[in-house]
Structure 1
Amino acid sequence: MVTAPSRSSERQRTVPADPASAYRTDLDGLRGIAITLVACFHIWFGRVSGGVDVFLTLSGYFFVGSLLKHVIVTQSPSVTLRDAINPLTRLTRLARRLLPALITVLLIVTVLTIVVLPQTRWVATGREVVASALYYQNWFLAFNSQDYAAASSANSPLQHLWSMSVQGQFFVVTILTALAFGGVIKLASTVVPQLRRPAVIRAIVATAIIGVAAVSFYWAHMRMPINQQFNYYDTIARTWEPLAGGLLAVWMPRWRVPTVLRNLVAVAALALIVTCGWWIVGVESYPGPLALVPVLATLAIIWSGATATQRGTRVDMPVINRGLASRFPVWLGSISYALYLWHWPLLIFYLAWRDSNDATFVEGVLLIALSIALAWLTKRYVEDPLRSSRPGTKKVGQHRADGAATSDSLRDPVLPTRSSRGRRARAAMLSYTGALTTLLVVGVLVAGVGIKAWERHVDNIVVDTTNLDPRIYPGARALIEGVPVPSVDPVPKALEVLKDLPETSYQGNISDFKDPDIHVAVYGDPTATKTIALAGGSHAEYWISALDLLGKQNHFRVTTYLKFGCPLSVDPNVSVDGVPYPACRTWVERVMDRLIADKPDAVFTNSTRPRQGIVGEWVPPDYLPIFDRFKQAGIPVLGVRDSVWPHNGKGAIDSPTCLAEGGDAKSCGTPRDPEYGMANPTDAIVADYPNVHPIDLSRGWCTDTLCPAIIGNISVYHDWHHLSATFVRSLAPELERQMKLVFPWA
């Protein structure tokens, strides 16, 4: 085991003897293995490796150990209460070690976003830049995991920084808690001197860690079936992982275990860390009980080398620990923070540039090589200069608190610089660090202002296509009626179509995911005697743009009963993107009672939906009891066929982004599946439900072979699978024709 140098008595006093804070090169190597797993699994396998869980555990081990040492040492009468509880030094040191590399990467990501990504993605990426810089990226992703717009988050160049946010939040809360605890002990020990004893302090800290970790672990396990997408990013659910490492720093088992057994433990632990990514689906399982595999394996490796660390020799160290302490793993561990920051953005920008979902083996190797090179440059020319407490000094080896950033110790051991460097070297270093700091600060200000300016620009975009010339922009009529289509640029443009939403969305007349209320609004002709109720989820909502127009023309009222992600269904296990959505079932029950009581002349709602995510159209069996209840109440149903959900052989298509990247109607379009055939599945249920009248407008958005992204010079979709309001209005004539076959007054 490589121990801290001991050429002077001063350095012997500054290097900690506690194994929890002693320098462990094998753990540097473990960090190198972990970042390798993270990068490889991201690039080639599209899975979670467990490497992040290793980082979290190591973070807790070193960070809690460092803070515990601070609390114990500051109980000395020679240390004032103010010095004992002052958080500024530690918070400043933490910022100096975490922020330079992060800011550098964020600035480059901002530039690459403008150069590589389409404008439709600038706002989302800009918001993630801000969220990452302020360490709430995990919450940003968590709260957007249920949002329709979040479908693109899987390709975000900053998605990986959720773990940095979790660790940053853990560090700050732990610092403040530890210093407050130390202050309380210091005050209380004037009355009860026994409280300042290290053994007592350790016992109190261990008890608190066990309690908080138990609550966090229970929360992580309990939330898995409720909302695993949110749970995965949740700091509360993740806290038990660094606390597990922290507990080992507080209490390291002193068992006398034969070297052979410790070798077996280390081998088994490393094997679990390396392989768990293949046999554990981490996105579905972490941070629940299965996260114990990489966490406990990390603790086992820490423990297996602890005895050798205590004895100050490598002789007793298990073979695995000695291997981890070898040169290359340790070097890889030294750049792990920067490597973690760089590898994911490079992958995402490369795939976006190539318009591909996967990297080949050769491409992956080149991406990793480039990531390593950038990580080394970042560490050498950004991290190290700005981490030094003063120019011209170098630090005795320190562990990095987050598996990436150097941990705080009570006092950093500092070695005097050699006199040969002289004042000019120190002046040059001061000049360099000053220039670098200025560059980063200016870059942050420019990027921040630019992001906010672009957000404001997008927010101020107004889409008004209500008076388009139908001869130039025929939309759906180009397919249905075969009218000629002039050669002009389509509308709305790719960036504008994102705002081309139904009137109900702009006016707040649709319940969001958390809103339990029923918002009934009136459109069309409010004074009319005939009423059509538009009811269901967002795929029913977008029809308001045509129904409102027809209601005004033909003098019928349109009342709305709408909720995001909530079609009229009796499904007891409604979910949105895999997230349970029990509020939908309750809302549907209340809406059905309200509709029966209001008794409109007809209900307009969806009658079909994809069977398997984006393909496989059918009439869901859970819709039939709804139709039956309307039949019993004597209420006709206009059952509209669902539109195509854009997709190709690579998966779902974000049509606006595809068009913004230079795609066209065909390349961004959807090949017409055999399962989305010429026959409307609703026709098959009419015999049993004569009150259901099929409305099929598919001829307006599909030919026999293709469902284009642009039809009649109008962009068809405003996001992944919702029709744009402009295109829906172009369907109004055909919708009117079909409705009049059922209700002449419509």
Structure 2
Amino acid sequence: MLPRQGPESSIARGNQDGASSPPKRAFRPEVEGLRFLAVFLVVIYHVWLGRVSGGVDIFLLISAFLMTGQFVRRIERDEPIRLGKHWLHLLKRLLPVAVLVIAVTVLLSWWLLPGNRWPSIISDAWASLFYFENWAAAFNSVDYYAAHNVASPFQHFWSLSMQAQVFLLWPIIFAALALLRRKLGWNLKTMMWIVFGGIFVASLAFSIIFTQSNQSFAYFDLRTRLWEFALGSLLALALPHLKMSRAVRVLIGWLGLLLIISCGLVLQVDQQFPGYLALWPTLAAAMVIAAGSSASKFGADRILSAPFMRFMGGNSYALYLWHWPILVIFLSWQNRDSVDWLTGAAIILLAALLAILSTKFVERPVRRFVWVEAAWHRPILLVSACVFLAIVPLLGWQGAMKAQVIEASKNSSADNPGAAALVPGFEPGGNPEAPTQPAASKISEQFAVLDSSCAGKWLSEVKEINAVCRSHSVTDSPAKSIVVIGDSHSEQWMPALQYAADQNNWQMISIIKAACPYSTSQPTASDDCNAFNAEATDYLLQRSPDAVLMVGTAAKPSSPEEVLQPGFTEATTELIANGISVVAMRDNPRFAFNMAECVISKGSQADDCNPQRGDLLAELSPFESLEAKPPGLITLDMSDYICAQNSCPGVIGNIFVYIDDNHLTKDYSASMGPVFAQRLLKASGWASS
């Protein structure tokens, strides 16, 4: 996480009373204590508060501060910069404990976490091992503020990955500047001020703008954090020139320390970090470092330099590594959203103990292993061995997951009838011991999507529509065209509709936007959603499909409360008035827990995974409240094929019904196809082809 400070030179003191610059010291005990404070704030906020503390931003700054000081001293001593040797030496320090944590986390996740989470955790483990977890999280649109019990146990590697990328980039910059200094005689520090000042300004401006438009991506984007590293480098360059009296150093040190501690409590940073708000913790940390050693018994550095703070500062890297997987795995294993004070304290103590032990018995022995330094190739062997130790359990886990999928694929259709098991008179004929479909590790892939991009008249001049437009047709001359529109709750009906479409020569088009039910403009919807729906309405009116399929009601989690979608009447009236029929689906029951994980963890027969129908489903559909159904409005209620007579199971006919707490699996939706087609034809009066 952070390169260790060099052991050389004693701790010099500044002038007792007069103004002075901070003494030149290769080892700064107050910075060691500040490292621990930053990590400890991260741990506390993760365990108990579920908020951003600013601690990560502080240790990003510290890492660049220390690295810049090290390289400046090397260059000024005219030492050659051997980048390969430097990077291998750095990996020798950082990898051993990281690999230990990755391997242990892989084994615990394999043992304790439900199979539906395995693919994403394995993917994150690979990303963490090779230091690109920040980009993996960004492109997967990870919500950093989401509940910890559904977070990845490797998510915290995003900051370590970001640091590793800077540890790759910054030395290249230093080497280039050293070359210019040697060849052209340019002033080293002037060049550094220009380069890192430019990075600071450009990255901070980008961070402010991009955070406002796409915060979930910006949070993990290296480009939005480069300014924090640049600030650390600028601080290292400025420090020798800062003149402060003892009193000013005491004041600045305490002010910085108080700002660091108060950052997470005062700032409401959800959906706003990093941006300009990250200036608070980074500038506060810069103040503490600039204050340096105050030579006063009242200075904040006296606390930060205390033996305990220095000791834990030496263990802070391992503490950061251990705390998050312990917390996440415990919450998921116990099916909890948070921990109480006592349990949280136990988690922190366990993480601290593991940090101390792994630093003492893994990191330091490897770092001091003289054999490794005896030949150029030996650090490569050590790094390769570390990576291998993490790869072995990962490959074993992937093999076990693949075996599950292969075993489930051997089932016959009779083994997994799905919704057909609820058809009156159904007689089971399959193997009662057959694995449930889909395999647990494949559940996350159960969102439906049509097989082709839109073409011809279904192409749109609006890029937002074109980006999500998909189509399916069995012939070039379909008898009807039906557009599935709305959010994922419309999307989940596509496999059932596809059965009807294939049987009757219909073309399907889908226009799906996540978390955006189709409607007229609504004050409760986001501006983005309202704008998309307006474009979608124009698209429908211009292309005039035979029908539109949408979800017309909205259920509440673990409650029989259900209402018509806001704007339902207005939206459907406009379409029908323009000759477009509307197939309105009743929403499926939703839960306050992940139904798929319930089944995987407790079994399909567990009471928790078979909640009472009356607790989830209103006796009457909200469609019944419509005063009159206009011609062209077709309402469908498939609740009797999602819920049994008295319960709403997580598994029906040996098929998982739900992906999570509210979405139907595409396999189960497809199993409803025959009944769905029959009911649609009957309700619409459309002729069967």
What TM-score results when the alignment is normalised by the length of structure 1? 0.78
2:49 matches 1:104 = no
Aligned to 2:392: 446
Task: Tell me what 1:727 maps to.
Answer: 668
Distance 2:273 2:614 in 1: 36
Secondary structure, aligned partner of 1:604:
strand
Which SS does the other structure have where 2:466 is aligned?
Answer: coil
Tell me if the contact between 2:189 and 2:237 (Cα under 8 Å) persists in the aligned partners.
Answer: yes
- Identify the residue that residue 17 of structure 2 maps to in structure 1: none
Distance in 1, matches of 2:225 and 2:239, equals 22
The residue type equivalent to 1:73 in the other structure is: R
Matched-pair identity in %: 28
Q: 1:607 Cα shift?
A: 2.0
Partner of 2:239: 252
3-state DSSP class of the match of 1:627? Answer: helix
Contact 1:21–1:66 at 8 Å: present in 2 too?
no
**What is the rounded CA distance, in whole Å, between the counterparts of 1:265 and 1:31 in structure 2?**
18
Q: CA deviation at 1:331?
A: 0.5
Shift of 1:492: 0.9
Residue 494 of structure 1 contacts residue 660 of structure 1 at CA under 8 Å; is this kept in 2?
no
The corresponding residue for 2:602 is: 662
Distance 1:673 1:277 in 2: 43
Residue of 487, 495, 498 corresponding to 1:548: 498
Query: Which of 142, 153, 156 matches 2:152?
Result: 156
Correspondent of 2:126 among 124, 130, 141: 130
Distance of aligned partners of 1:160 and 1:146 in 2 relative to their CA distance in 1, 3 Å threshold: closer
Please tell me whether the aligned partners of residues 128 and 158 of structure 2 are also in contact (alpha carbons under 8 angstroms).
Answer: yes
The equivalent of 1:13 in structure 2 is none
**In 2 relative to 1, CA 377–573 (structure 1 residues): closer, same or farther, beyond 3 Å?**
farther
User: What corresponds to 2:14 in structure 1?
Assistant: none
Distance in 2, matches of 1:178 and 1:624, equals: 65
Choose the corresponding residue for 1:290, options 259, 277, 281. 277
**CA distance in structure 2 between the aligned counterparts of 1:644 and 1:461, rounded to whole angstroms:** 30
How far, CA to CA, are the matches of 1:151 and 1:594 in structure 2? Answer: 37
Match of 1:532 among 482, 501, 523: 482
One-letter code aligned to 2:682: K
Residue 301 of structure 2: aligned partner:
321
**Distance (Å, rounded) in 2 between the aligned partners of 1:605 and 1:441:** 49
| Unmatched tracts of structure 2, length 5 or more | 1-5, 12-20
Residue 292 of structure 2 is aligned to residue 305 of structure 1:
yes
2:135 & 2:559 partners in 1: Cα distance? 28
SS in 1 for 2:311: helix
Quote the offset at 1:183 in angstroms: 0.9
1:605 maps onto 2:550 in alignment: yes
Q: CA deviation at 1:322?
A: 0.9
Partner of 1:557: 506
Cα offsets for 1:695-717 (capped at 9, x unmatched): 22223324687532123433202
* Cα pair distance change 1:168/1:689, threshold 3 Å: farther
Q: Residue 146 of structure 1: CA displacement?
A: 6.3
**d(CA) in 2 for partners of 1:502 and 1:675?**
23
- Quick check: 668-677 or 542-551, which moved more? 668-677
| Larger deviation, residues 558-567 vs 333-342 | 558-567
The residue that corresponds to 1:29 in the other structure is 33
Candidates 63, 86, 110, aligned match of 2:67? 63
Q: CA deviation at 1:356?
A: 2.2
Aligned partner of 2:53 among 45, 49, 59: 49
Is 2:581 the counterpart of 1:636? yes
TM-superposed deviation, 1:370? 1.7
What does 1:428-507 correspond to in 2, within 5 Å? 440-447=386-393, 449-450=395-396, 453=399, 468-469=413-414, 475-476=418-419, 481=424, 491-495=436-440, 498=443, 501=446, 504-505=449-450
Do the aligned partners of residues 485 and 279 (structure 1) sit closer, same or farther apart at CA in structure 2, a change above 3 Å counting?
A: farther
TM-superposed deviation, 1:174:
0.5
Contact residue 407 and residue 435 of structure 2 kept, 8 A: no
Matched ranges for 1:222-371 at <5 A: 222-252=209-239, 254=241, 256-306=243-293, 308=294, 315-316=295-296, 318-371=298-351
Deviation at 1:176, TM superposition (A): 0.8
Structure 1 stretch displaced more, 380-389 or 441-450: 441-450
Q: Is the 1:538–1:562 contact (alpha carbons within 8 Å) kept by the matching residues of 2?
A: no
1:614 Cα deviation after fit? 11
Q: How many residues were matched structurally?
A: 658
Contact 1:525 1:552 in 2 (8 A): no
Structure 1 residues 537, 248: closer, same or farther in 2, change over 3 A? same
Residue of structure 2 in register with 1:677 after alignment: 618
Any unmatched runs of 5+ in structure 1?
8-16, 190-194, 309-314, 394-425
Contact 1:547 1:558 in 2 (8 A): no
CA contact (8 A) 1:647 1:670 kept: no
Give the distance between the partners of 2:556 and 2:210, measured in 1 at CA. Answer: 27
TM-score by length of 2: 0.83
> What amino acid is aligned across from residue 713 of structure 1 in structure 2?
N
How far apart in 2 are the matches of 1:71 and 1:689?
81
Q: Which residue of 2 aligns with 1:408?
A: none
Q: Shift of the alpha carbon at 1:494?
A: 4.3
Equivalent position of 2:3 in the other structure: none
Among 321, 337, 354, the residue aligned to 1:374:
354
Contact 2:582 2:633 in 1 (8 A): yes
Deviation at 1:254, TM superposition (A): 4.6
Q: Single out whichever of 662-671 and 58-67 deviates more from structure 2.
A: 662-671
2:206 alignment counterpart: 219
Is 1:208 the counterpart of 2:170 in the alignment? Answer: no
Which SS does the other structure have where 1:637 is aligned? strand
Inter-CA distance 254–436: structure 2 relative to 1 (3 Å threshold): closer
